[in-house]
Amino acid sequence: MDRQTRPSFTPADSGAANDATARAGAPAPRSRRGWRVLAGLLFVVLLLVVGARLTWSWLNPLGEQTIDRSGPALLRSVQNLSRFEAATGDFQVIVDLEKDAKFVPDAIKGSRTLFVGAGTVDAYVDFTTLPKDAFTVSPDRTRVTVRLPHAELEKPNLDSKRSYVFAQERGIFDRISDFLSSSPQNQQELYVLAERKIADAATASDLRSRADQNTKAMLEGVLKSLGFTTVTVRYDGEP
């Protein structure tokens, strides 16, 4: 009977097997180099993108730059004000301005604008118009009678920060005209209408009568502090 022969391994063969096993379990050197090259390329691309973004924001070739070349304000004249600002009214109005074209629908030609106008109106008494006999003093200098003109209303002062276009509808032709025009329609007409309506509201209010009362109280306090015990203030038209 033949003896069954077993394969024999030499130490050299054992080392070769271990090397093969190690090479099979570890990644290939080329694969590592490939990932490193890819990561480097991504980092370079990231640097280029960030650099381009910073350069664009710094140069900003399409950005606008505001330069104020206005000269200094010049003092043309000085006037002494001799009037008493007796009251101030704060007003707000909504201007509804509509422009239509005959025989053309509003969607084609026409506009409607809602404008909120806010401003103030001052009521004052002008002391420069007082005649010489406006103050009548008694012989004992204890009584004084003052005759004044009624308060007047100043021109409305529209506040641009609180005045704005609330809503606006325009036809196709109006939109195209504003787009092609070098000076599109401004809001001057809206401001003029708002000032006119505020002036009418101030005239219809009790702002002037309130100013007359405040002026009377002011003069009574000033004249009594000068030693007069009886102060009478009458306005034009009063007996």
pLDDT tens for 168-222 read 777 676 666 665 554 445 678 889 999 999 999 999 999 999 999 999 999 999 9
pLDDT at residue 12, as a whole number: 44
Q: Does the global pTM surpass 0.85?
A: no
CB atoms within 10 A of CB 86: 22
Among the listed residues 146, 238, 159, 149, the one whose alpha carbon sits nearest the alpha carbon of residue 198? 159
State the amino acid at position 134 in one-letter form: A
Among the listed residues 55, 200, 22, the one whose alpha carbon sits nearest the alpha carbon of residue 117? 200
DSSP string, the chain: -PPPPPP---HHHHHHHHHHHHHHHSPPHHHHHHHHHHHHHHHHHHHHHHHHHHHHHHH-TT-------PPPP---------EEEEEEEEEEEEEEEEEE-TTS-TTTSEEEEEEEEEEEEEEEEEGGG--GGGEEE-TTSSEEEEEEPPPEEPPPEE-TTT-EEEEEEE-HHHHHHHHH-SS---SHHHHHHHHHHHHHHHHHTTHHHHHHHHHHHHHHHHHHHTT-SEEEEEETT--
pLDDT at residue 205, as a whole number: 93
pLDDT at residue 214, as a whole number: 94
Instruction: Note whether 151 and 206 are within 8 A (CB).
Output: no
State the amino acid at position 24 in one-letter form: A
- Model confidence band, residue 11 (pLDDT cutoffs 50, 70, 90): very low
Q: Is the pLDDT of residue 130 over 80?
A: yes
- Model confidence band, residue 9 (pLDDT cutoffs 50, 70, 90): very low
Q: Can you tell me the mean pLDDT for 44-55? A: 75
State how far the alpha carbon of 52 is from the alpha carbons of 46, 48, 65, 108, in Å.
10, 6, 21, 46
